[in-house]
Structure 1
Amino acid sequence: MSWIKGFKCTTMIRGLIPWILMTNVMLVLYSLSSPNQLTVRVPQEETCPLSATKSPQKSKALVPQSSKSEECSPKVNVMFMKTHKTASSTILNILFRFGEKHKLRFAFPDGRNDFFYPSPFLCSQVKGYRPGECFNIVCNHMRFNQAEVAKLLPPDAVYITILRDPVDLFESAFHYYHRVVPLTWGIGGENKLAEFLNSPQSFYNPKAFNSFYLKNLLFFDFGFDNNLEANDSQIEKGIQHLAGHFHLVLIAEYFEESLILLKDLLCWSMEDILYFKLNVRKSSFVSRLDPEMRAKALQWNWADWKLYQHFNATFWARVEVYGRERMQRDVRELRRRNAEMKAICIEGKDAVEAQKIQNSRFLPWQPVGEKSILGYNMRQDIDPKFRTICEKMLTPEIQYLSDLGVSLWITRLWGWLTNKIY
């Protein structure tokens, strides 16, 4: 029997080798990509002047179809706090298209597709940043640091973000990131998520590598301590801090209503907010939590739940001000326009598995060791006048960033390494 135990032990060790190698590679890549962290920080008062930002030419394309009596001007200075696993990639595509169309200036990272996440954001992480420079749009993943972000944008910038039900977000993050979170590697059983929720403290260490993916991920993304106790007053203080800085918080479960409020706030047109769902998981990879597991996930992510509750309430208060009937009418119009674009652009009108995507341009980034994220095939017989807009609406984040001139050598090296290992 001893040789059987020895064999099992050897097999387990061999199984851990790729994970250990992956962890070390991640640490090396992070250290290679972080020299700008040592840059001297710019004083708070050295912000960009409002007059330095680009404004689009007044044209028919920029005049929104609004029911407001007075004509408004489209807003072009936008900070989008891109949260994880919240349909934020779809919002990103909308911002990319608007910014590119009107030749606005993006603040982009250098070498990768995020601002050195999970480190707190610093202006020095922006490619080519010089003190006092102005940008129109900031929208890549970061750990939010309002004081630093404010240095990049003029005072009239609109701050927006998006939240998702914390239970669904936790489930999504647990499965999407589990291969890069060493804390999950030792969880046994067929249902690792249930095992974790039944005894989270047995598997969780707040100081462990990438542990933030496993608890209050939203609160962490916004720059706060994600390990606060449920009754800690800092949770409410953090929520009020965000309420004082964000002009609109979208809700993923009401995505279309969120876009209508966004259109109204920014004075954009319906054309500007058309979208296809990007970075969506195949349904077979989604765990359906029963009420007991949902309750445990909620308790474990209590700070995120309080955050979500607060901004869900403010969201519906805004819908009331906008008008329920008006909202329903505009949502119907958005759905109609999206359906038209699907018929024009997408082969089969629906997303397909990664293996069935014919053009690598439209292949979305996949979780480590999986092919669970769906993508699209563009119609071959597409009307030439729609080809450009269809390509842009279907293009995933990584490819679109490359189109916009962002160097992604670290991100691409990471993808190549994970493909080789798996």
Structure 2
Amino acid sequence: MLGVAVRGRRWQSMARGLAVGALFTSYMVVLYCLSTSAIKQNVRVALSCSHPRLGHNTTNTSHSRTGLSGECVPKMDIMFMKTHKTASSTLLNILFRFGEKHRLDFAFPDGRNDFFYPSPFLSSQVKNYQPGACFNIVCNHMRFNVHEVAKLLPADAAYITILRDPAELFESSYHYYHWAVPLTWGISGDEKLTTFLRDPGSYYTPESYNSFYLRNLLFFDFGLDNNLEPDHPLVERGIQALSKQFQLVLMAEYFEESLILLKETLCWAMDDLLFFKLNVRKNSSVSRLTPELRAKALKWNGADWRLYQHFNTTFWAKVEAYGRSRMEKDVRELKRKNAEMAAICIEGGVAVDARMIWDRDLIPWQPVGQSSILGYNLRKNIDPKYRELCRKMLTPEIQYMSELGVNLWLTHLWGWLKDTIS
């Protein structure tokens, strides 16, 4: 009888998985048709937004600019290439707050929270885009297309992005997106990630739907071929092209140090860098990689590993140029300020399970069938001078974009469907 019951549960689980998969696939097909239609309807021959802002230095370098009197002028024109599963949501919140504070113009998607990813970015995907129009900040998920992005920003805009150790990124991506990747649905057992990594060639085909989530996701996000072997000449060529394009590449593992370099590059103030970690998974959902699995993950994501190693080297060269002792001092100051804000803003001072968040507007987006992303409760009786800042620092991406006036009807439609089948 026990065996019959176990088999019954297995069949129920498989049936539920197939139903979820069918609904998800149907939704994505509809979404693809809608997005493709929207792109076709809005394609225009765009003029190049190539002029610098009035009064700005036209030299596109990684150094902060100076005004007429020699003082440092905060950089307002920014392209943030938001990569997946790299602490980019936390950085996005910083950019949203900076943009609001200075009344900057964001180039936002229309109808959803990304630029029709995974399709290559087109300037026509921007809400209310008109040929020749210039924006201050581009920062939502896209598949990078430098020529199309350049149409939206002045020639002296700062290009920044963030990377994460490819083994840890692969683990996070596998956990978060596996319901969206049919390649993983046939893997049985509780250790699906382990099974995949021990023989990825048995489960992976480049042409399969959403397969890019399973290999060299960083390379794919940057608009490059994610199926190249690491020793292919195009890998090095792509890395060198990105080196010339991006003034600063941050490292998720050294987030505070990265923000200090961002402050130096953009001539921002320390208070502009305040943050709480957003879109963080609870520990119980994280698969700890053994040395064997880590080595396999890095080998499987070899192009991303070369990309990461290159920019890790340039990152620490920038830290050395900034000064180690100076960096340590500034990191301590940033951590102190963040700790102060946590005590002021966060009930209990720590992130909690999404099901324990009182305010629905502060509940983060969850992957299909799970509640693994933590969020925060806003403290009651906050000093009025901190109330607005606290709330904005705790607001997840989707809700913040809605507050900034973006109509996210496609995102909300998928959210409703996701919650219905979970």
Q: State if a TM-score over 0.5 links the two structures.
A: yes
> 1:43 deviation in Å?
5.3
Alignment of 1:145-184 (within 5 A): 145-184=145-184
The residue type paired with residue 407 of structure 2 is S
The residue type paired with residue 312 of structure 2 is N
Structure 2 CA distance, aligned partners of 1:246 and 1:343? 35
Give the secondary structure class of the aligned counterpart of 1:33.
helix
* Equivalent in the alignment of 1:31: 33
Structure 2 CA distance, aligned partners of 1:322 and 1:269? 16
The residue type paired with residue 234 of structure 1 is L
Give the secondary structure class of the aligned counterpart of 1:105.
coil
* Equivalent in the alignment of 1:126: 126
TM-score (norm 1): 0.93
* Equivalent in the alignment of 1:212: 212
| 1:11/1:102 CA distance change after superposition, 3 Å | closer
* Equivalent in the alignment of 1:372: 372
* Equivalent in the alignment of 2:192: 192
* Equivalent in the alignment of 1:353: 353
The gaps in structure 2 that reach 5 residues or longer are: 57-63
8 Å Cα contact 1:36-1:124 kept in structure 2:
no
* Equivalent in the alignment of 1:61: none
Q: Number of matched residues? A: 409
8 Å Cα contact 2:47-2:131 kept in structure 1:
no
Structure 2 CA distance, aligned partners of 1:8 and 1:275? 43
The reply on whether 1:16 has 2:18 as its aligned counterpart is yes
The reply on whether 1:303 has 2:303 as its aligned counterpart is yes
8 Å Cα contact 2:170-2:214 kept in structure 1:
yes
The residue type paired with residue 421 of structure 2 is I
> 1:49 deviation in Å?
3.3
| 1:274/1:198 CA distance change after superposition, 3 Å | same
Give the secondary structure class of the aligned counterpart of 1:250.
strand
8 Å Cα contact 2:357-2:376 kept in structure 1:
yes
8 Å Cα contact 1:212-1:220 kept in structure 2:
yes
* Equivalent in the alignment of 1:415: 415
> 1:161 deviation in Å?
0.1
The residue type paired with residue 387 of structure 1 is R
Percent of aligned pairs sharing the same letter: 65
* Equivalent in the alignment of 1:49: 51
The residue type paired with residue 239 of structure 1 is I
The residue type paired with residue 149 of structure 2 is V
* Equivalent in the alignment of 1:323: 323
8 Å Cα contact 2:46-2:130 kept in structure 1:
no
| 1:39/1:382 CA distance change after superposition, 3 Å | same
Structure 2 CA distance, aligned partners of 1:236 and 1:43? 32
TM-score (norm 2): 0.93
Structure 2 CA distance, aligned partners of 1:8 and 1:277? 37
| 1:394/1:139 CA distance change after superposition, 3 Å | same
Give the secondary structure class of the aligned counterpart of 1:107.
coil
Structure 2 CA distance, aligned partners of 1:247 and 1:148? 18
Structure 1 CA distance, aligned partners of 2:30 and 2:171? 28
* Equivalent in the alignment of 1:102: 102
Structure 2 CA distance, aligned partners of 1:92 and 1:194? 32
The gaps in structure 1 that reach 5 residues or longer are: 55-63
The reply on whether 1:239 has 2:210 as its aligned counterpart is no
* Equivalent in the alignment of 2:224: 224
The residue type paired with residue 310 of structure 2 is H
Structure 1 CA distance, aligned partners of 2:158 and 2:102? 17
